[in-house]
Amino acid sequence: MNTRQRLDAMRARQPAPAGMAMRTAPASSSLPNWPQRVSFCPPGMQERGGECVSGVCAPRVHPLIDAARNAELAEYERTVRQRFDAIVPALREIAAQQHEAGFEQRAQQIARERLGFELPQDVLADAWVTTLDMRTLYGHSVLQTYHALARDFTARWNGHAEAEAMHRFFIECGFHEIDISPCADGRLKGLLQFVLRLPYQAVRRRKSYAGAMFDVELNVRQWTETELRRFREGLPTLSDAGTRYLKIAVYHFSSSDPHHEGCAAHGSDDRKAAQAAIDRLAAFRTAIENGFCCGASVATLLIGVDTDNDAIKVHVPDASGEMSTECFVDNLAVYHQTTGMAASEARWRLGAAIDEAVREQGRSAPEAGMRRLIERLLTNNLSQIDYVCAQHNGRYADIGHAERFINIGDGFDEVHLRNLAYFGHLYTIEEGAADMDVGIKIFSGLNVARGLPIPIAIHYRYDEQVPGSRERAVARCRRIKAAIAARYPTLAKDGLLFCGMTVQGKAPGSAQEEVSDIDTNSHGH
């Protein structure tokens, strides 16, 4: 078995099915067909203490990492994974008892104790007629687990001060609003909280699209809203402050399996993914510059994420804001170079990496504010690289897709974790069909192939201050659900689509409200 075959065998086990333990490192105990010899660690991995560990992960301490936050995130990841991983065993146990006396009470008791919520009573009650509808129970459980986590998070969140500080930092760098569009791929679902270590409240606009191909016209409208608020209210900065709107696009790639586990929307070709994002960013900037007078412009930035280890590449804009696929700082290399250094030396090295990237390509240096932001992003990401070393031996076991559910519509604020959900930002299936199709394709492999339904969380925010906004968000949920069923009729017929619907006010701290299928208030418009 050569290296290639070993990698293939490894990939064949991936993606880890939802419900299976996913933190399992590629250690011998969990890989019966993985030989015990160190020479069998895949390329880039080294044997250390009986496990394959990425060569990047030094046994030395890195001076710039946030150890406390890493510990918090490890606990958070463990909690989230455990909650989802509990679903399949609990449902298996319930299934085994479906023909016993007192089944319904017993099933609810198991669900409460092990999952933290109840199962739909009517599904349990109907079990005696034919057999227990495990698809519905599974779909229900996945989405309820998510909702329970979101509620816990909302109740405990106390990061206002941190978000506020980050927002001030952005303004000091010259950016009054940060707008990020990553790829819809679930492996980027931890982008803000983990990969970039940015409080999500500090990044007001977050919209994912397959291939990071964001909607230029929508973005022009959002820029317009932001700018009007500056003129009318002087928030977040005065209109003459000289700050700009910063649009960041985030593509992704896989260093260990570049031709298969990169971005599907761009044929797993990272250069193509990067170029497409640069073109889209340039189109947005041109739209603003041409459409508005008086020197209107926006700043743009491109970031690539290696989804194997969460290391980023930051494409450094030149003095006029232009970017190239070739001119970037590879933060994995920076991590490798700076580990074991003194903090001040590591910081200097990180800054030097930006200068070198620019110099090698014969380009001009970025503006001071942009440079400062890039330094912060690279520094933040060092903690994440270290985290992946500590928690995942420097390379995720699930280098491929292993999402738990699809999130359609507006994104969830509350829970962020790599491979938690495939997220497509869309308002109609008609326009968002490409994003939806990619999600369904991923889950056809992950879930449908195993007989499990695709849990789909349809979620829209509404504006409490706009009359009728909530009703329209509710109607949109139902319309989207119907459109999904119409687009995938075979899956729908076979009970392999499980759609949950929620709406949520725009005000911070608003709770998610579940939406029922039936319109109980259909009088009037």
Catalytically annotated residues: 185
Residues touching a second copy: how many (CB under 8 A)?
42
Stretch that binds a second copy, among 11-19, 66-74, 148-156, 212-220 (CB under 8 A): 212-220
Binding mask 170-209 for a second copy (x = CB under 8 A): ----------------------------------------
Binding mask 239-258 for a second copy (x = CB under 8 A): x-------------------
Q: State which of residues 483, 485, 492, 513 lies at the interface with a second copy (CB under 8 A).
A: 483
Stretch that binds a second copy, among 168-176, 183-191, 218-226, 248-256 (CB under 8 A): 218-226
Stretch that binds a second copy, among 17-25, 232-240, 360-368, 413-421 (CB under 8 A): 232-240
Nearest residue to 222 via CA among 176, 155, 277: 176
Report the alpha-carbon distance of residue 286 to residue 301 in Å, rounded: 14
212 sits near a second copy (criterion: CB under 8 A): no
232 sits near a second copy (criterion: CB under 8 A): yes
Report the alpha-carbon distance of residue 473 to residue 479 in Å, rounded: 10
Q: 512-522 b/e with 16+ CB inside 10 Å = b?
A: beebeeeeeee
Residue 177 Cβ, how far from a second copy at the closest point, in Å? Answer: 14
468 sits near a second copy (criterion: CB under 8 A): yes
- Burial (CB count <10 Å: 0-12, 13-18, 19+), residue 129: exposed
Report the alpha-carbon distance of residue 388 to residue 164 in Å, rounded: 27
Q: State which of residues 5, 32, 156, 217 lies at the interface with a second copy (CB under 8 A).
A: 217
227 sits near a second copy (criterion: CB under 8 A): yes
228 sits near a second copy (criterion: CB under 8 A): yes
Provide the strand spans (E) within 153-310. Answer: 175-182, 205-206, 244-253, 299-306
- Asked if residue 18 lies in contact with residue 402, where contact means CB atoms within 8 angstroms, the answer is yes
Residue 503 Cβ, how far from a second copy at the closest point, in Å? Answer: 14
431 sits near a second copy (criterion: CB under 8 A): yes
Stretch that binds a second copy, among 5-13, 332-340, 450-458, 463-471 (CB under 8 A): 463-471
Q: Which residues inside 282-321 make contact with a second copy, applying CB under 8 A? A: 282-283, 286-287, 290-294, 296
Q: State which of residues 356, 430, 494, 519 lies at the interface with a second copy (CB under 8 A).
A: 430
Report the alpha-carbon distance of residue 85 to residue 419 in Å, rounded: 13
Q: Nearer to a second copy by C-beta: 171 or 296?
A: 296
What single string gives the DSSP state of each residue in 38-94? GGGSPTTEEEETTEEEETT--SSPPTT--HHHHHHHHHHHHHHHHHHHTHHHHHHHH
- Asked if residue 431 lies in contact with residue 474, where contact means CB atoms within 8 angstroms, the answer is no
Which residues share a beta bridge with 329? 314
In the block, residue with structure tokens 């603003």: 288
Nearest residue to 324 via CA among 369, 282, 278, 280: 278
- Helical segments of 407-520, H only: 429-446, 469-487, 489-493
By the criterion CB under 8 A, which residues form the site for a second copy? 213, 216-217, 220-221, 224-225, 227-229, 231-233, 239, 276, 279-280, 282-283, 286-287, 290-294, 296, 427-431, 463, 465-469, 472, 479, 483, 525
